[in-house]
């Protein structure tokens, strides 16, 4: 399954962003990202040891991005504005996809534009929520956010949640909202020792079986474990984006392992053959019922973990960018670079 928020019965149409390819609901703490303009003739293709901008946005998308400085009279006005702008953004993106060659960078810029749009949409919705009545509908809206956002801090959502009346917070929707928000902190597995699963059997893509101890084996400071599947659209997008960056990343600092929950072995192998990833790939038995997946207690993919040399989890996120940014000294930047 794709990573998604729990279903809440709320009559608010601003959740339209979920239909964008690769958009997945979640939330993560961050600060307002800086924006830098890159000269038009400067290439964004990664080169070794140069700082890689993880959020490069094509300037052609900027006219379709929400303006967070607009003061809306009410939620309806904000909703109508976002729906109208989303229609224009989606139409533009579809046109771009038809006219452009499906290169690696086209995937990166389309995905970044989606994140950029959603971040600003969330700012508008959150600011409108701060001005709205503290009722069931508005407390539920706090949980509709994205793990890819850098702008609206998760702590701010929880702080605002705590200002609601006790009866609202203690309602079934109020409790579910808090559960969703706290789950987006991704702290449940922090410092969990994965070496306890060293004897777990995993399948390699060369038809052999090995132990999870071999997956964990690395002489580098960090290991990135990516849980995904060949049928998961968001997983494919994130893995292709990572492949695009990988040639320029300082890989002396980390290794990558792909852990698939594919049930169909042949489709998994075809996917790996088509994508030609440079990192090792393994398949877990029993899909989401695999003992490792169940122990880590996540309910959807993609899901990424950063592991240290002691096989302990130091970071977890659905967004691979957030994982890369946690590696000390890695040549990446969270600044938005406009091309």
Measured CA to CA, the distance from residue 102 to residue 279 in angstroms comes to: 22
- Name the band, by pLDDT with cuts 50, 70 and 90, for residue 140: very high
Q: What is the pLDDT of residue 261?
A: 97
CB 131 within 8 A of CB 267: no
Residue with tokens 């300037």: 59
| Residue 21 confidence (pLDDT) | 33
In angstroms, the CA 223 to CA 311 distance is 8
- Closest alpha carbon to 114 in 328, 324, 321, 332: 321
Which pLDDT belongs to residue 101?
A: 65
Give residues with Cβ within 8 angstroms of 70, minimum separation 6: 81, 124
Q: What are phi and psi of 259, to 5 degrees?
A: -115, 110
Give the pLDDT band (50/70/90) at residue 148: confident
The rounded radius of gyration (Å) of the Cα atoms in the chain is: 20
Q: Tell me, what's the pLDDT at 105?
A: 81
Question: Nearest Cα to 182, choosing from 221, 219, 145?
Answer: 145
- DSSP assignment of 37-84 equals EPPTTS--S--TTSPEEEEEE-GGGGGGS--TT---SSHHHHHHHHHH
**245 pLDDT above the threshold of 50:** yes
Tens digits of per-residue pLDDT, 72-113?
999 899 999 999 999 999 999 999 887 766 677 888 889 999
What residue segments make up the domains of the chain, in order of their start?
13-183, 194-330
* CATH superfamily, region 194-330: Glutaredoxin (3.40.30.10)
Please state whether the predicted TM-score (pTM) of the whole model is above 0.75.
Answer: yes
- How does residue 217 score in pLDDT terms, banded at 50, 70 and 90? very high
pLDDT at 330 over 80: yes
What pLDDT is stored for residue 13 in this prediction?
31
Average pLDDT over residues 192-197: 98
- pLDDT at res. 176: 94
Dist. CA 294–CA 257, nearest whole Å: 19
User: Does residue 267 sit in helix, strand or coil?
Assistant: helix
Confidence band for 339, pLDDT divided at 50, 70 and 90: confident
Interval 255-261 mean pLDDT: 97
- pLDDT given for residue 229 in this prediction: 97
**What is the per-residue pLDDT for 155?**
85
Cα 85 to chain centroid, rounded: 23
Average of pLDDT values for 162-180? 96
Q: How far apart are CA 262 and CA 152, in angstroms?
A: 34
| CA–CA separation, 176 and 316 (whole Å) | 21
Beta bridge partners of 202: 210
Percent of the chain with pLDDT strictly greater than 90 = 71
CA distances from 208 to 211, 283, 287, 296 (A): 10, 11, 18, 25
- Greatest Cα pair distance in the chain: 63
Strands 254-260 and 222-228: parallel
Model pLDDT for residues 29-73, shown as the tens digit of each residue: 333 444 555 444 444 555 447 999 999 999 999 999 999 999 999
pLDDT over 80 at 15, yes or no = no
Model confidence over 151-164: pLDDT tens digits?
888 888 999 999 99
Nearest to 64 by CA among 85, 47, 34, 37: 85
Bridge partners of 313? Answer: 307
Of all residues in the chain, the percent with pLDDT exceeding 70 is 85
Residue 203, pLDDT score: 96
First-to-final CA distance of the chain: 34
pLDDT at 97: 82
Q: Which one, of 38, 127, 31, lies nearest residue 74 by Cα?
A: 127
What is the arithmetic mean of pLDDT over 247-257? Answer: 95
Q: How confident is the model at residue 12 (pLDDT cuts 50, 70, 90)?
A: very low
Q: What is the pLDDT of residue 20?
A: 37
């Amino acid at each position: 399954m794709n990573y998604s928020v729990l279903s809440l019965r709320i009559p608010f149409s601003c959740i339209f962003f979920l239909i964008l390819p690769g958009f997945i609901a979640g939330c993560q703490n961050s600060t307002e990202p800086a924006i830098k303009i890159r000269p038009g003739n400067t290439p964004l293709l990664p080169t070794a040891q140069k700082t890689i901008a993880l959020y490069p946005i094509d300037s052609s998308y900027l006219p379709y991005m929400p303006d967070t400085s607009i003061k809306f009279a009410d939620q309806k006005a904000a909703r109508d504005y976002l729906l109208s702008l989303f229609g224009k953004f989606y139409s533009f993106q579809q046109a771009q996809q038809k006219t452009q060659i499906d290169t690696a960078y086209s995937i990166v810029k389309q995905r970044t534009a989606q994140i950029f749009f959603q971040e600003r949409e969330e700012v508008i919705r959150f600011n409108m929520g701060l001005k709205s009545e503290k009722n069931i509908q508005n407390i539920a809206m706090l949980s509709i956010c994205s793990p890819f956002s850098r702008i609206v801090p998760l702590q701010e959502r929880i702080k605002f949640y705590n200002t609601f009346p006790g009866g609202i917070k203690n309602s079934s929707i109020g409790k579910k909202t808090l559960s969703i928000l706290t789950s987006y902190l991704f702290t449940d597995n922090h410092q969990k020792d994965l070496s306890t699963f060293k004897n777990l059997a995993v399948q390699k893509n060369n038809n052999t079986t090995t132990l999870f101890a071999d997956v964990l084996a690395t002489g580098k400071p960090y290991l990135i474990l990516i849980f995904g599947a060949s049928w998961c659209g968001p997983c494919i997008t994130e893995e292709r984006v990572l492949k695009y960056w990988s040639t320029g990343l300082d890989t002396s600092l980390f290794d990558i392992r792909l852990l698939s929950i594919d049930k169909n072995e042949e489709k998994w192998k075809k996917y790996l053959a088509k994508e030609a990833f440079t990192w090792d790939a393994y398949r877990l038995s029993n899909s989401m019922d695999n003992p490792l997946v169940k122990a880590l207690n996540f309910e959807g993919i993609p899901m990424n973990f950063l592991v240290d040399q002691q096989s302990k989890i130091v970071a977890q996120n659905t967004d691979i960018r957030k994982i890369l940014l946690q590696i000390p000294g890695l040549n990446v930047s969270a600044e938005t670079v406009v091309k």
